[in-house]
Amino acid sequence: MVVLGAGPAGLVLGNLLQERGVDCVVLERAERGHVQTRARAGFLAANTVRILERHGLAEGLRRRGRAHSVCEFRSADGRFRLDYGGLGLGERHTVYPQQQLVTDLLTRFLVGGGRVEFGTEAVAVCDADTERPSVSVREAEGRPGRWRARYVAGCDGRYGAARRSLPDGSVRRYHCDHGVSWLGLLAEAPPSLDAVGYAVHERGFAGHMARTSEITRYYLQCERGTAADAWSEERIWDELELRMRGAEYGPLRRGRIARRGVVDLESDVLEPLRHGALFLAGDAAGLISPCAAKGANLAVLEAEILADALVDDLLHGDSAGLDAYSARCLAHIWRAQEFSDWMIRLLHSPSGAPEGPSPFHDSLRRSRIASLRTSRSHQDWFAEHYVGV
C-alpha cells in the first residue's frame, strides 16, 4: 500500500493500516521538521476524538487538548453566547493544534515500525486502472524513483499528485467560490475571550479562535485580491477591535502577528473518490472552507473508513467496503459542505460576489442570527452540525 502525504489523512490511514498488519509506506514531499511545525486547523470534533481514541492515537490530545464548547456571536443587534456543549447532541470540540496532532501520529507510526519517505515528491500515479498501479516520484536532489503497490491512497492535498493523475472525465469536480476572502492571522497573544468569537460587522466579518494560552487565531474578512502584507499590525488590531466591538465588550489582548495569509473561501468535492486502485482522502478528496473547521475532521473520518475497507479487501478478500467507500464518504462530505456554506452565509456579506453587496441578503443574515439567538430548536440544530462530522 502506498500512501501519498503525511498530513492528518495520510498519517491516520498509515497508523490504522499498520495496526492491522497491512504493509504500507507514506511518501511525503516535505521534510519532517516542516510537517511537524506547519500550523493549520485546531478544532477536533467529538467524533474525531472517538476515532483517535479507538485506535490508541489520542494520548497527546487527552493530555494537552482543551475541551471547548462555547461560541459567542457579536453584531449590531448585541451579543449572545451559545453553550453548544449543552445543546444538540451535547458534544464538544477539543482544541489541539494540528501540528501537535500530526507530530503524535507521526511519532506513533515511526515507533511502530512505519516507514515515511520524507523529501519524496509523488509526481504521478500511473496505471491506476490496473491491479498493479505505481507512483513515480522525485527523491532528494531530484533523483527519479518508482513505488508499486496494490492500492494507492491520495492524501496529498489539493495540489498533490493524486488529483493531477486523474484522467479527464474520470471524476467530476463540483466547485464553489463563496466570494469571500479572509486575512488569517496567528497572533502571539492570549485569547481575548473564553469562546470562539464570531463578529458580524458592516465592515466585514471578524473571527477569534483560541489555540493555546499564548497563541490566538484571528480572521478578518478582506477585499478579494488583498495582499497578505498589505495591512500593518496596528491596522489589523484596530480593525479587529472595531469589528469585535471591543469598546462595548472589552478590548482585545494584542500581540505580535507571527503569521498571516489570505485565503479565498472555496469548496470543492470530487465524485467519485476513486479511480481504479487510487483512492482519495482529506483535502485531495474535497476542499471545505475553514469557516466551520471541518477539514481535518473529515480527513480523519475518511481515513478510518478507507482503512477499514482496505483491511477487508487486503486481508479478507472482501471488496465491498472499497466499492462503498466513495458513497459513504460523500454523504458526510456533502453534509459538512452544507453546514459550512450556511455558516459562510450567516457570517458574511460576500464582497467578492459578482452582483456586489446585497442589502436584502444582509437583512436575511440578521434574521438568521436572531433566529439562532432565540430559537432553541435552531440552536440544537446548530450545535449538532457545528461539532458533528
Pick from 155, 199, 322, 346: which binds ligand APR (CB under 6 A)?
Answer: 155
Pick from 69, 98, 289, 340: which binds ligand APR (CB under 6 A)?
Answer: 98
Residue 39 beta carbon to ligand APR: minimum distance, rounded to whole angstroms: 9
Q: Assess whether 208 carries a catalytic annotation.
A: no
Q: Assess whether 386 carries a catalytic annotation.
A: yes
Q: In a 10 Å sphere around its CB, with 0-12 CB exposed, 13-18 middle and 19+ buried, how is residue 228 labelled?
A: middle
Residues 362 and 379: their CA atoms lie apart, in Å, by 21
Select from 244, 268, 260 the least CA-distant residue to 340.
268
104 binds ligand APR (CB under 6 A): no
Q: Which of 178, 275, 294, 332 is catalytic?
A: 294
239 binds ligand APR (CB under 6 A): no
Residue 263 beta carbon to ligand APR: minimum distance, rounded to whole angstroms: 11
State the sign of the Cα–Cα–Cα–Cα dihedral 125, 126, 128, 133.
negative
**What is the residue type of 107?**
T
Place of cell 494537552: 64
Site string for ligand APR, 37-66 (x = CB under 6 A): ---xx-------------------------
C-alpha radius of gyration, the chain, whole number: 21
Place of cell 493544534: 97
Our CA dihedral for 372, 377, 382, 383, rounded to 10 degrees, sits at 120
C-alpha cell belonging to residue 115: 516507514
Residue 7 beta carbon to ligand APR: minimum distance, rounded to whole angstroms: 2
Total residues at the site for ligand APR (CB under 6 A)?
27
Site string for ligand APR, 106-145 (x = CB under 6 A): ---------------xx-----------------------
Stretch that binds ligand APR, among 33-41, 48-56, 61-69, 258-266 (CB under 6 A): 33-41
Stretch that binds ligand APR, among 23-31, 48-56, 173-181, 272-280 (CB under 6 A): 23-31
Residue 23 beta carbon to ligand APR: minimum distance, rounded to whole angstroms: 19
Q: Which of 290, 325, 348, 385 is catalytic?
A: 290
**What is the residue type of 216?**
T
C-alpha cell belonging to residue 137: 516520484
Stretch that binds ligand APR, among 7-15, 43-51, 252-260, 376-384 (CB under 6 A): 7-15
Stretch that binds ligand APR, among 26-34, 66-74, 108-116, 260-268 (CB under 6 A): 26-34
CA distances from 140 to 136, 137, 144, 166 (A): 14, 10, 9, 25
Residues 14 and 52: their CA atoms lie apart, in Å, by 13
Residues 310 and 296: their CA atoms lie apart, in Å, by 21
3-state secondary structure 363-388: HHHHHHHHHHHHCHHHHHHHHHHHHC
Residue 234 beta carbon to ligand APR: minimum distance, rounded to whole angstroms: 29
Q: Assess whether 249 carries a catalytic annotation.
A: no
Q: Which of 84, 151, 198, 219 is catalytic?
A: 198
CB 99 within 8 A of CB 211: no
389 binds ligand APR (CB under 6 A): no
Strand-pair partners of 184: 219, 261
Q: Assess whether 359 carries a catalytic annotation.
A: no
Beta-carbon count within 10 A of 258 CB: 12
CB 287 within 8 A of CB 268: yes
Q: Assess whether 272 carries a catalytic annotation.
A: no
7 binds ligand APR (CB under 6 A): yes
Place of cell 481575548: 192
Stretch that binds ligand APR, among 34-42, 205-213, 265-273, 319-327 (CB under 6 A): 34-42
Site string for ligand APR, 197-226 (x = CB under 6 A): ------------------------------
Q: Which residues bind ligand APR (CB under 6 A)?
A: 4-10, 27-30, 35, 40-41, 98, 121-122, 155-157, 160-161, 282-283, 295-296, 299
Instruction: Give catalytic residues, as residue numbers.
Output: 68, 198, 290, 294, 386
